[in-house]
Amino acid sequence: MKNAKYLSENIPLLPKWPELIETGQSSAIGLSTGLQIQQRWVFAIMGFFAIFNAYTMRVCLSITITEMVIPSDKNESHLVGTCPNNYIKDPTAVNSTSGTYDWDESLQGLILSSFYWGYVLTHLPGGILAEKFGGKYSLGLGILSTAIFTLITPVVVEYGGAYALIVVRVLMGAGEGTTFPALNAMLAQWTPPEERSKIGSLVFAGALLGTVFTSSVSGVILHYSTIGWPAVFYVFGSVGILWFLVWIIVCYNNPSEHPFISESELKYLNERLSAHTHKKPPPVPWKHVFTSKPLWALIAAQIGHDWGFFTMVTDLPKYMSSVLKFPIKSNGYLSSLPYLCMWVSSILSSWMADWIITAGHMSRTNIRKIGTTIASVGPGVFIIAASYAGCNGYTVVAMFTIGMTLMGTFYPGMKVNALDLSPNYAGTLMAVVNGIGAFTGILTPLVVGELTPDNTNSQWQLVFWIVFVVLVITNLVFIVYASGEVEYWNDPEFVIADQMKKLKKLEGEIVHRSPC
């Protein structure tokens, strides 16, 4: 206890109420010595792995498809901006790179975008269900269904081809669509304002390490596996099912439902969350939500971020393989490096953001605007620089890595902003914001497929200029209209009074129209 208290009091970046590790009755997650880990951090770690697994299953096709398709037999020597293939085939590689399926760039773009068709459909239902019944099963069952569809992907492709794969990817997207809204609803119940940037960034940054893990491990599997690309789907689908089994045992909708939470942590969370977070808030005040300028600013920023991020996540492996001609093993490692650096940046910047806000050095609103601006302008500039680096593959990777590192401030910038605006309706807000942003996941692979038929540098430069313009314009909207303060319509008393006012107005109209 003394050691924990000493660390808490002397290291300002650690939360001070109460200590991360405290003594008390041991829990299901507790250590055999009687030490008990705070349950909000157990939830944060499991939430991190939820998004981690979601992204492994979402992203694995992006690198696997480079080995599934038959390489283009175009004569590239006459194409301006085509990079030479200077890499010698690795004799340790088990699999050839001849591919099996004759899918052109447009069809590949359609396949990669199909995930988001289902993804956008379940955001709003997932958020509403999570607010009403809790996010535990809304999230858990969504990840489980995605894992099952991932496992059966190889069989589906073998017997149904490209269009059967599209159907499976739509269903996978529908399963994952509940992930962010459900987690945001649970974050509102588990995260005090002083730890919002830290815990929120830890959870949401699972997308980055999931992408890192998928890209690097997929490259190794494709390089060495004797069964080829199906092994990728078997590995990540199995891990997703394992996560679900642990999740349903150790995590709960809110602190009050948790059977093993300590009294001190429960008291602390109730005290810190009671002002703006309520267990059963009134129905969503849709009129006020959709007339909120800070919400529309957040939607704009989400569209900009997702346009850039999804372009990179979905199509960077194709760029590495088709344009820079990296072999599959190197492709996996190098495609993952930008996201690893982005993850480190997100964690460090989130802890710094909470410290600055708590110490009173800067308002929450300004922290959100600065973080979002760095995460928009920085990546835009370095992505453009990468596109003009020509065929110098490692220089291109360095530029992408610097740009994506700067994008890490997006998490303490705008990603946790929905929790600022309305803790009571955090699930619904995340559903609206993330759901609208996810439409870019449908568009970007299609845009890339249409603009890069020959995979030349000049064609990809246009793709990256579009990313830059979208990032800058949407960031300007966020700077002008964003807020880090709780919106007035989060207050249940205001919502109830507003509903009563509408009811009285309706009753008055009925009485006025009555013939009696």
pLDDT (tens digit, 9 = 90+) per residue, 444-485?
Answer: 888 888 888 887 888 888 999 999 999 999 999 999 999 999
Name the residue with higher pLDDT: 234 or 391: 234
Which domain CATH number covers 112?
A: 1.20.1250.20
Name the residue with higher pLDDT: 320 or 446: 446
DSSP 407: G
Name the residue with higher pLDDT: 173 or 215: 173
Q: Are 386 and 334 in contact (CB under 8 A)?
A: no
Domain assignment present for residue 456? The answer is: yes
Q: Residue 18 above 60 pLDDT?
A: no
**36 SS3 class:** strand
Under the phi-then-psi rule, with left for phi > 0, alpha for psi from -120 to 50, and beta for the rest, what region is 83? beta
Distances from the Cα of 483 to the Cα of 346, 349, 420, 486, 492, angstroms: 20, 19, 8, 8, 20
- The pLDDT of 142-171, averaged and rounded, is 96
Domain assignment present for residue 463? The answer is: yes
Domain assignment present for residue 504? The answer is: no
Out of 327-331, 338-342, 479-483, 497-501, least confident range: 327-331
User: Taking the chain, what is the end-to-end CA distance rounded to the nearest angstrom?
Assistant: 75
Max distance between CA atoms of the chain, in angstroms, equals 93
- The pLDDT of 218-239, averaged and rounded, is 90
Q: Residue 316 above 80 pLDDT?
A: no
Q: Residue 294 above 70 pLDDT?
A: yes
What is the C-alpha to C-alpha distance for residues 202 and 179, in angstroms, rounded to an integer? 15
Helices (H), 225-292: 230-250, 263-273, 286-290
**360 SS3 class:** coil
Q: Which residues pair with 372 in a beta bridge?
A: none
What is the C-alpha to C-alpha distance for residues 335 and 352, in angstroms, rounded to an integer? 28
Name the residue with higher pLDDT: 475 or 5: 475
Instruction: Write down the pTM of the prediction.
Output: 0.74
Domain assignment present for residue 12? The answer is: no
Contacts (Cβ under 8 Å, ≥6 apart) of 254? 134, 186, 189, 190, 279
Out of 176-185, 327-336, 452-461, least confident range: 327-336
Q: Which two tokens stand for residue 467?
A: 């990313």
Q: What is the pLDDT of residue 373?
A: 96
Q: What is the pLDDT of residue 67?
A: 85
pLDDT (tens digit, 9 = 90+) per residue, 25-73?
Answer: 333 444 333 456 789 999 999 999 999 999 999 989 988 988 888 876 5
Q: Are 335 and 66 in contact (CB under 8 A)?
A: no
What is the C-alpha to C-alpha distance for residues 401 and 406, in angstroms, rounded to an integer? 9
> Which residue range forms the structural domain that includes residue 387?
36-72+99-255+287-485
Q: How many structural domains comprise the chain?
A: 1
Give me the chain's average pLDDT, please. 83
Q: Which residues pair with 36 in a beta bridge?
A: 22
Q: What is the pLDDT of residue 278?
A: 64
What is the C-alpha to C-alpha distance for residues 462 and 452, in angstroms, rounded to an integer? 9
| Best-predicted range by mean pLDDT (160-174, 255-269, 338-352, 410-424) | 160-174
Domain assignment present for residue 498? The answer is: no
Q: What is the pLDDT of residue 14?
A: 36
Name the residue with higher pLDDT: 220 or 495: 220
What is the C-alpha to C-alpha distance for residues 10 and 335, in angstroms, rounded to an integer? 39
Q: Are 255 and 39 in contact (CB under 8 A)?
A: yes
Q: Residue 108 above 60 pLDDT?
A: yes
- The pLDDT of 374-383, averaged and rounded, is 94
Q: What is the pLDDT of residue 99?
A: 67
What is the C-alpha to C-alpha distance for residues 134 and 347, in angstroms, rounded to an integer? 27
Domain assignment present for residue 495? The answer is: no
Q: Are 376 and 474 in contact (CB under 8 A)?
A: yes
Name the residue with higher pLDDT: 132 or 141: 141
Domain assignment present for residue 364? The answer is: yes
Q: What is the pLDDT of residue 512?
A: 62
Q: Are 215 and 332 in contact (CB under 8 A)?
A: yes
Domain assignment present for residue 263? The answer is: no
Q: Which of 435, 438, 436, 461 is nearest to 448 (CA)?
A: 461
| Best-predicted range by mean pLDDT (98-107, 194-203, 318-327, 498-507) | 194-203
- The pLDDT of 332-355, averaged and rounded, is 86
Q: Residue 5 above 80 pLDDT?
A: no
- The pLDDT of 14-32, averaged and rounded, is 38
Distances from the Cα of 84 to the Cα of 245, 304, 324, 461, angstroms: 48, 33, 8, 18
- The pLDDT of 356-379, averaged and rounded, is 94
Q: Are 211 and 62 in contact (CB under 8 A)?
A: no
Q: Residue 362 above 90 pLDDT?
A: yes
Residue 21 backbone phi and psi in degrees, to 5 = -125, 130
As separate numbers, helices (DSSP H) first and strands (DSSP E) second, the chain gives: 21, 2
Q: CA neighbours within 13 Å on the CB side: how many for 146?
A: 37
- The pLDDT of 495-509, averaged and rounded, is 74
**102 SS3 class:** coil
Residue 20 backbone phi and psi in degrees, to 5 = -60, -40
Residue 69 backbone phi and psi in degrees, to 5 = -90, 155
What pLDDT band is residue 442 in, cutting at 50, 70 and 90? confident
DSSP 37: E
Q: Are 204 and 186 in contact (CB under 8 A)?
A: no
Out of 87-101, 165-179, 232-246, least confident range: 87-101
